[in-house]
Amino acid sequence: MSTEVTKPANFIRHIIEADLKSGKHQSVQTRFPPEPNGFLHVGHAKSICINFGFAQDYNGQCNLRFDDTNPAKEESAYAKAIAEDVKWLGFEWSGEVRHAADYFDKLYAYAEELIQKDLAYVDELTAEEVKAYRGNLTQPGKNSPYRDRSIEENLDLFRRMKAGEFDDGAKILRAKIDMASPNMNMRDPAIYRIKRQHHIRTGDKWCIYPTYDFTHCISDALEGVTHSLCTLEFEDHRPLYDWVLDNITIDCHPQQIEFSRLNLEHTITSKRKLNQLVTDGLVKGWDDPRMPTISGMRRRGFTPFAIRDFVMRTGVTKKVHTVEMSVLENSVREDLGDNAPRAMAVLNPLKVTLTNYPEGKIEELNAPNHPQNEAMGQRTLYMSKTIYIDQDDFRESANKKYKRLVLGKAVRLRNSYVITCDKVIKDNDDNIIELVCTYDEKTLGKNPEDYKPKGVIHWVSETHSKPATVRLYDRLFNIPNPGSAEDFLSTLNPESLIVLSNARVEMSLANAKPEDTFQFEREGYFCADRFEHSSDNLVFNRTVTLRDSWAKIEAQDK
């Protein structure tokens, strides 16, 4: 197996190394803080690799913390899937899984501390008024008429908010910062709202909930986070992150560092839009192999190594960019090219009868599991009188470029003999239904002396092959940037899934376990479906196509 992802230098690594060198920190503590409101996607994989990866590189720790401050949207099924994804990617969090909700009591106490310091107040402007008072990027905001309440009054009102005396939305607790700040986030941001909502973890204990900005920095500090790594959209929130921690009694002040999000062409990295694909039934669930979710990529056959490798190749910078899908696919190909055993599968079978092959004879032929890696061993192929080749690998007539089987010409069967096509049998509608061929018994592992076969094709024997369903997956969207389309659903690729239900696969694949990956020679990389594949019902998903199957395979068979 591939072992280590490269560790390129980047600005976050520089900061961490400088902090360790100067003694600012003795060790590294990071966290990955997903909101459990959907499945994780490839963008989150980047955040996971960065947070867990840096902790790992410097013998530090990374926490998994669910940012569950928004009770309406969260579901425990998502939390479970997220934890599974993190583990599958190859990371371990430190200690128990944490939840922002675990800190609700402490957060409440810190809010009271801000009130005591006259740094927070209870406002009762309506939501529209709050918005109007806030001003905009060119105009400063105005102070709320409730801004100058006494500390005692604020404390009393906040406690009564907590006790459930007021209606949802009737009052909010705001930090008292600066309504004229050029940074809108500093214009007295809300830190607590009244919301009568059941919370998965705290039940009905609370009817007030802290905002993300107030919760996140304090949760980080309570966990002793040294470097709070997040995406660029939080850059403008950093002054607030620092303001809160500077104004409460807490002895840890993590450094927030922002990096650019991972955007991938031909896909979408927004949980809201992914959710829409699922709820509208446009894909078969969050883990549909076409989805850019971690569980979708897993089901598609992408490996944790390939995903980690891809993410690190895209770099850790502040530059906003969109990565081509081929970069991800290449990481997958490279890993599977090295590690996936080879096998033969005929996706659209065409029957071939070898007239001169003895009736009832079965010959066992050895084939390497990997042409470049002997350690991966060998498998047995079974030669018989009736075999199948792919419909695409035969033409009645063809030009010189067509290096497969042609009527009257010869071709090599991969790991087996050279055959020549003598006759084509058709049905009443002129469809080719069978080929009548002869095999050359002197050509096992040897080239014929007096003629030259045109190319090498794959095959399976009729007696020693199994029926299988093969699902060919392609890009989910037709355009590079579906997220920017007015209606992203109109850019779905109608051919993102083609199901072939008559495929036949070589005998060795009958033992494939769910999630095993293979290179089906000349066809691409495939994996046994994680949920639907079993020994009685073989189901393979195409992970990614082969780049250049031809040149290589021919060289090997000579």
Minimum distance from CB of 271 to ligand ATP (Å)? 3
Q: Which does residue 345 touch among ligand ATP, Mg ion, none (CB within 5 to 8 A, set by kind)? A: none
Place of tokens 């099924």: 77
Nearest to 328 by CA among 37, 16, 539, 45: 45
Tokens standing for residue 485: 């389309």
Catalytic residue among 31, 46, 271, 298: 271
The closest alpha carbon to 461, from 347, 384, 362, 543, belongs to: 384
Note whether 33 binds ligand ATP by CB under 6 A. yes
Burial-class residue 251 by CB neighbours within 10 Å (0-12, 13-18, 19+).
exposed
CB nearer to ligand ATP: pick between 157 and 476: 476
The CA distance from 437 to 424, in Å, is: 9
Residue 467 CB coordination number (10 Å): 12
Q: Which is nearer to ligand ATP, 176 or 216 (CB)?
A: 216
Q: Is 65 in the site for ligand ATP (CB under 6 A)?
A: no
> Residues binding Mg ion: what is the number (CB under 5 A)?
1
**227 is a contact residue toward ligand ATP (CB under 6 A):** no
Which is closer to ligand ATP, CB of 261 or CB of 403? 261
- The listed partner (ligand ATP, Mg ion, none) that binds 215, CB under 5 to 8 Å by sort, is none
DSSP codes of every residue in 67-131: ----GGG--HHHHHHHHHHHHHTT---SSSPEEGGGGHHHHHHHHHHHHHTT-EEEE---HHHHH
The residue type found at 317 is T
Residue 510 DSSP symbol: G
Measured from the CB atom, is 100 or 350 closer to ligand ATP?
100
User: Nearest-CA neighbor of 207 among 152, 261, 267, 165?
Assistant: 165
The residues, ordered by sequence, that sit 6+ positions from 507 with a Cβ below 8 Å of its Cβ are 380, 381, 382, 464, 465, 466
Among 179, 222, 225, 262, binds ligand ATP (CB under 6 A): 262
Q: Which stretch binds ligand ATP (CB under 6 A): 31-39, 329-337, 396-404, 504-512?
A: 31-39
Q: Which is nearer to Mg ion, 38 or 482 (CB)?
A: 38
- Residue 446: both structure tokens together: 């040897």
Strand spans (E) along 190-254: 190-194, 208-210, 227-231
The answer to whether the beta carbons of residues 406 and 398 sit under 8 Å apart is yes
Q: How far is the CB of 269 from ligand ATP (least distance, A)?
A: 4
Q: Which is nearer to Mg ion, 48 or 122 (CB)?
A: 48
The answer to whether residue 261 forms part of the interface with ligand ATP (CB under 6 A) is: yes
Q: 3-state class of 199 per DSSP?
A: strand
Catalytic residue from among 31, 35, 298, 404: 35
Is residue 400 annotated as a catalytic residue, yes or no? no
CA distances from 286 to 64, 78, 283, 295, 476 (A): 21, 10, 8, 7, 13
SS3 call for 142: coil
Per-residue contact string for residues 263-292; x = within reach of ligand ATP by CB under 6 A: ------xxx---------------------
**325, 265 Cβ separation under 8 angstroms:** yes
Q: Which of the choices Mg ion, ligand ATP, none does residue 296 contact, using the CB cut-off of 5 to 8 A by kind?
A: none
Nearer to Mg ion among residue 44 and residue 300 (C-beta): 44
The answer to the question of residue 34 lying near ligand ATP (CB under 6 A) is yes
Q: Which amino acid is at 509?
A: L
> Of the ranges 20-28, 40-48, 143-151, 167-175, which one interacts with ligand ATP (CB under 6 A)?
40-48
Name residues contacting Mg ion, limited to 32-71 (CB under 5 A). 35
Q: Which stretch binds ligand ATP (CB under 6 A): 44-52, 54-62, 134-142, 180-188?
A: 44-52
Q: Minimum Å distance from CB 40 to Mg ion?
A: 12
- Asked if 43 touches ligand ATP (CB under 6 A), the answer is yes
Residue placing its CB nearer to Mg ion in the complex, 35 or 506: 35
| 519 bridge partner residues | 342, 525
DSSP state of 358: P
> Would you say 235 or 246 has its CB closer to ligand ATP?
235
230 is a site residue for ligand ATP (CB under 6 A): yes
CB of 35 to Mg ion, least distance (A): 5
Nearer to Mg ion by Cβ, of 35 and 529: the residue is 35
270 is in the binding site of which of ligand ATP, Mg ion, none (Cβ under 5 to 8 A by kind)? ligand ATP
Residue 235 bears catalytic tag = no
Q: To which residue do tokens 């009102």 refer?
A: 157
CA atoms within 13 A on the CB side of 317: 9
What whole-number distance in Å separates Cα of residue 311 and Cα of residue 478?
Answer: 23
- Report which DSSP code applies to 477: B
Residue 385 is a catalytic residue: no
Cβ 218 to ligand ATP, closest distance in Å? 16
Considering only residues 47, 63, 330, 465, which one is a binding residue for ligand ATP as defined by CB under 6 A? 47
- Smallest separation, CB 79 to ligand ATP (Å): 11
Helix (H) or strand (E) holding 56: helix 42-57
Distances, alpha carbon 411 to alpha carbons 355, 362, 454, 547, in Å: 16, 21, 5, 22
Of 29-37, 128-136, 142-150, 386-394, which part binds Mg ion (CB under 5 A)?
Answer: 29-37
Catalytic residue among 142, 147, 195, 261: 261
Q: Nearest approach, Cβ of 314 to ligand ATP (angstroms)?
A: 9
Non-local (6+) Cβ contacts of 61 within 8 A are: 27, 28, 29, 30, 55, 94
Q: Out of 5, 25, 28, 46, point to the residue binding ligand ATP (CB under 6 A).
A: 46
Shortest distance, position 44 Cβ to ligand ATP, whole Å: 5
Given the rule CB under 5 A, which residues bind Mg ion?
A: 35
> Footprint of ligand ATP on this chain (CB under 6 A)?
33-35, 43-44, 46-47, 230-231, 261-262, 269-271
Catalytic site positions = 35, 261, 271
